[in-house]
């Protein structure tokens, strides 16, 4: 009955996802908006995208890589100075082997960063060649690091918060599929557009299909506060008459795509998320997440309340699935 009802709706044909359900993971899109795909079958160096990885990884990972690289490169040049002989570093006062190592190491750090305090200086051809190569390496490394840091700061990316759950809530004497989003940053997002799509598996054919879901409105002028994305469950909705067990049977997943113009970067940003049938709460409504301040001069948006909801009774007259 439900499958016949779905045939009334035009499917989304070009989604970028495969229709073969048996060869895909448990969900199409991860909660962080990335596609749930692991790429294999290419040589490691061919699939390595160093620039992309370095500007998209976490800051803690990036800083660790920079520090480790800095230490390793200076250790390499320290060993070269030791092989050339510490006596070729004029101004050294070290006596023990450990002190000589640290003298060479810190001279390497000063040369690599082009600080050059002047107490220790290379003497002779081997030491001067090593110092010259290290100076050039340091200049190129810091130029590269500066470009990467600029790329990390200048890369436009969205910091969109989503409610942990989607809900089935009362709406205009019927029900609706809802979830909330909000901008976690102070930047201004304007000309916001939203798109919602339901993915389900036809158990008879084992083919995954995609249906676009109409929203109450799919555009807002600006994401100043929160936006409750609403898909009304009416005669035009594939969810009419669907139960929680039906969504589980169909392995349903709701894919949300968002784009807006970032006024800070003057560029369009994109964000994605998905909700599986496990993430849906039936019979609930979101609680308000904004209020005025004590002087009624400004609006306070409580971002930590984006997922807050309360249980409610759904309308007694729920639409049933078509028997066609």
**Using CA atoms, how far apart are residues 94 and 105, in angstroms rounded to an integer?**
12
pLDDT in tens, 195-214: 999 988 877 777 888 889 99
Residue 319 lies in a domain: no
Task: Pick 286 or 207 by higher pLDDT.
Answer: 286
Q: If you average pLDDT over every residue of the chain, what do you get?
A: 83
In a domain, 136, yes or no: yes
C-alpha closest to that of 13 among 192, 199, 170, 138: 199
pLDDT bin (cut points 50, 70, 90) of residue 321 is: very low
* Domain-terminating residue out of 154, 173, 201: 154
The count of structural domains within the chain is: 2
Do 301 and 195 lie in one domain? The reply is yes
Determine the structural domain holding residue 186 and report its residue range.
Answer: 2-38+158-311
228 phi/psi in degrees, rounded to 5: -90, 110
Position 319 scores a pLDDT of 41
In a domain, 324, yes or no: no
- Supply the DSSP symbol for 33: S
Residue 322 lies in a domain: no
Which of 154, 175, 207 is the C-terminal boundary of a domain?
A: 154
Q: Calculate the alpha carbon distances from 218 to 193, 196, 213, 221, 259 in Å.
A: 6, 9, 10, 10, 11
% of the chain residues with pLDDT over 70: 83
Confidence of residue 309 (pLDDT cuts 50, 70, 90): very high
pLDDT of residue 317: 47
pLDDT at 13: 61
Determine the distance from the C-alpha atom of residue 260 to the mean position of all C-alpha atoms in its chain, rounded to a whole number: 16
User: What's the CATH code of the domain at 149?
Assistant: 1.10.287.70
Alpha-carbon torsion 40, 42, 43, 45, what sign?
A: negative
pLDDT tens digit sequence for 242-268: 888 888 888 889 999 999 998 887 888
- At 314 the pLDDT is 80
Examine residue 9 and state whether it is found in any structural domain, yes or no. Answer: yes
Averaged pLDDT, 101-107: 91
Phi, psi values for residue 297, rounded to 5°: -100, -20
Where residue 1 falls among pLDDT bands split at 50, 70, 90? very low
User: pLDDT value at position 316?
Assistant: 58
CA distance 164 to 152: 28
What average pLDDT does range 171-193 have in this prediction?
90
Q: Single out the residue in 154, 170, 201 at which a domain terminates.
A: 154
* Residue 166 scores a pLDDT above 70: yes
- pLDDT tens for 6-59 read 666 666 666 666 666 555 656 777 777 676 666 666 665 555 678 878 888 889
Residue 226 has pLDDT above 80, yes or no: yes
Residue 317 domain flag? no
Residues 6 or more apart whose CB falls under 8 angstroms from that of 112 comprise 70, 73, 74, 77, 134, 135, 137, 138, 141
Window from 41-55, 221-235, 282-296 with minimum mean pLDDT: 41-55
Angle, CA 31 vertex, CA 149 and CA 23 arms, to 5°: 115
Same domain, 91 and 205: no
Residue 323 confidence (pLDDT): 35
Question: What number is the average pLDDT over the span 154-167?
Answer: 86
H or E, element range at 260: strand 253-262
Structure tokens at 143: 């130029």
CA 263, 268, 269, 275 torsion-angle sign: positive
């Amino acid at each position: 009955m439900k499958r016949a009802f779905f045939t009334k709706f035009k499917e989304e044909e070009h989604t970028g996802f495969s229709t073969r359900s048996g060869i895909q993971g448990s969900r199409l899109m991860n909660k962080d908006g990335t596609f749930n795909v692991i790429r294999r079958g290419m040589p490691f160096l061919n699939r390595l995208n160093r620039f992309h990885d370095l500007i998209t990884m976490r800051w803690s990972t990036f800083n660790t890589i920079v520090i480790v690289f800095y230490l390793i490169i200076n250790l390499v040049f320290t060993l070269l100075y030791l092989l050339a002989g510490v006596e070729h570093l004029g101004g050294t006062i070290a006596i023990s082997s450990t002190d000589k190592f640290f003298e060479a190491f810190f001279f390497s750090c000063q040369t690599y960063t082009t600080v050059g305090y002047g107490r220790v200086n290379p003497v002779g051809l081997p030491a001067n060649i090593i110092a010259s190569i290290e100076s050039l390496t340091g200049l190129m490394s810091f130029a590269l690091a500066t470009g990467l840091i600029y790329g990390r700061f200048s890369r436009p990316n969205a910091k969109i918060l989503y409610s942990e759950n989607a809900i089935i809530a009362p709406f205009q004497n019927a029900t609706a599929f809802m979830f909330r989003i909000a901008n976690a940053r102070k930047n201004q997002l304007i000309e916001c557009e939203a798109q919602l799509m339901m993915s389900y598996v036809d158990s008879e054919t084992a083919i995954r299909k995609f249906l676009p879901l109409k929203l109450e409105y799919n555009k807002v002028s600006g994401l100043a506060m929160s936006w409750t994305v609403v898909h009304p469950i009416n005669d035009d909705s594939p969810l009419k008459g669907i139960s929680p067990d039906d969504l589980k049977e169909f392995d349903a997943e709701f894919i949300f795509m968002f784009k807006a113009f970032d006024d800070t970067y003057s560029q369009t940003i994109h964000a994605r998320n998905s909700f599986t049938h496990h993430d849906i709460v039936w019979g609930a409504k979101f609680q308000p997440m904004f209020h005025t301040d004590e002087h009624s001069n400004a609006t306070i948006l409580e971002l930590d309340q984006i997922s807050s909801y309360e249980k409610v009774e759904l309308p007694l007259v729920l639409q049933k699935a078509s028997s066609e």
